Amino acid sequence: MKKLLIFALILMAGITAYPQATRSGREKAKSEKSSDKKESEKRSVNRSSDKKEKSERKATSSTDNKQTRSESKAVRSGNDKKRSISTTRSATRSRVETGNDDQKRVRTSNDQRKETGSADRRQQTTNRSERRTDNGATPARTIIESDRSDNRAVKVNTSSASRTYREGRGTLTRDDGTVVRHQNDEVFASRKYKLDYDNYESLRRSDEFRNDYTAYHNWYIHRHIRDIRFHHHYEMVPFDLRRERYYHRHPVHIDLIWTPLLFHRFMYYYPTHDTWEMEFGTPIETISAYEAQEYVGTVRRVYGKVDEVYYSPEDDNYLLYVGAPFPYQDISVVIPKQVAREITRSPKWYFEDEYIWVVGLINTWEGKPEIIVRDEEQIRKY
């Protein structure tokens, strides 16, 4: 019994002593952890302070380097500016010297030209006075290529003569010094053809013109003749009555002048035409479609309203009938398919019931006047 009592007492003492030991161990562990945390915090604070110091040192060093670099750049730029100023001064001096020399040369050449021009004009006036008839009028003068005695810029005039005209941008200067202003460059702005030939004969002998001549001749021969089918829904109005009551709206005025370059261009447009009776410097008249019949064989600017657009599948041409539908039209405008597609993708919708003006040579086809459009710049809507 004694042994059992002793064993029970020992157990009771152990049970009471165990929680106290565990509590003390836990407290020690907590204290150790808290100390470790404090040490780690101190270390992190020290590290952050070290990083801040390093960044501050780097910033100060970079600012110092930038200041030194900017100062060196400023010094270099100042030196470069001084050098450029010196070079520009020397260049301007050389330019001024060369400009003075050029001005002297130009003045001397101009004086020589003036002297030669005045002498030529005096000779022309004396020749004109000698050529005067009994009535006091001077006959028309044409300069033939074989009559040229000097090597001046004598070029094309009409069909077999040459010209003494100087053509600039928007101007045409005659041999007597008169200047004629025009708007040809605004209408015909493209440079599709070579127009700087010396005369009419050299242009006709060129390979480019011969190729264009054969192509145009073959196209014109194989044109399709449309069958005359009268429109039963259209009430025929006499020509004189339509001319009095139904007038066409006039387009904006354009100063088109017959110049050598324009003449060369129209030679490409109509290579089979030989009789060009227009004199250089004369304006191209603007007429309505009612008056086209009176100007067959001449170059005119014709305006009117398109009443019908017809596509001919046999020869791939678009026909614009101005004034009335076919066959009552006042004038027809023929546009090949490739030219019409350069203007618009749907010519019927684009031209029908619209006012147009066309610049071209007026010919006749099946008893009616017509104009063939070879370039999209010949035709406009207004």
Q: Which residue has the tokens 């001005």?
A: 103
Comparing 137 with 28, which gets the higher pLDDT?
28
**Pairwise CA distance, residues 33 & 10, whole Å:** 35
Q: What is the mean pLDDT of the chain?
A: 76
Which homologous superfamily does the CATH classification assign to the domain defined by 223-252+285-381?
Answer: Nucleic acid-binding proteins (2.40.50.140)
Confidence of residue 183 (pLDDT cuts 50, 70, 90): very high
Confidence of residue 306 (pLDDT cuts 50, 70, 90): very high
| Number of residues assigned to the chain | 382
Confidence of residue 156 (pLDDT cuts 50, 70, 90): very low
- pLDDT tens for residues 335-382? 999 999 999 999 999 999 999 999 999 999 989 999 999 999 999 999
Enclosing H/E stretch for 361: strand 355-365
What is the domain partition of the chain in residue ranges?
A: 23-113, 145-191, 223-252+285-381
**Pairwise CA distance, residues 106 & 108, whole Å:** 5
The region of weakest confidence among 96-100, 112-116, 136-140 is 136-140
3-state secondary structure of 348: helix
Residue type, 124: Q
Q: Structure tokens of 26? A: 């836990």
pLDDT of residue 40: 73
Q: Structure tokens of 228? A: 């005359």
Q: What is the mean pLDDT of residues 207-232?
A: 86
Confidence of residue 54 (pLDDT cuts 50, 70, 90): confident
Q: What is the mean pLDDT of residues 200-225?
A: 90
User: Bridge partners of 288?
Assistant: 303
This prediction's pTM: 0.57
Q: What burial class does residue 334 get, using C-beta atoms within 10 Å of its C-beta: 0-12 exposed, 13-18 middle, 19+ buried?
A: buried
pLDDT of residue 84: 61
Per-residue pLDDT at 186 exceeds 60: yes
The region of weakest confidence among 73-87, 121-135, 244-258 is 121-135
pLDDT of residue 310: 94
Backbone φ and ψ for 345, nearest 5 degrees, come out as: -85, -20
CA atoms within 13 Å, Cβ hemisphere of 57 = 6
Per-residue pLDDT at 161 exceeds 90: no
Q: Which of 292, 269, 281 is nearest to 369 (CA)?
A: 292
Comparing 193 with 280, which gets the higher pLDDT?
280
Q: Structure tokens of 168? A: 């600039």
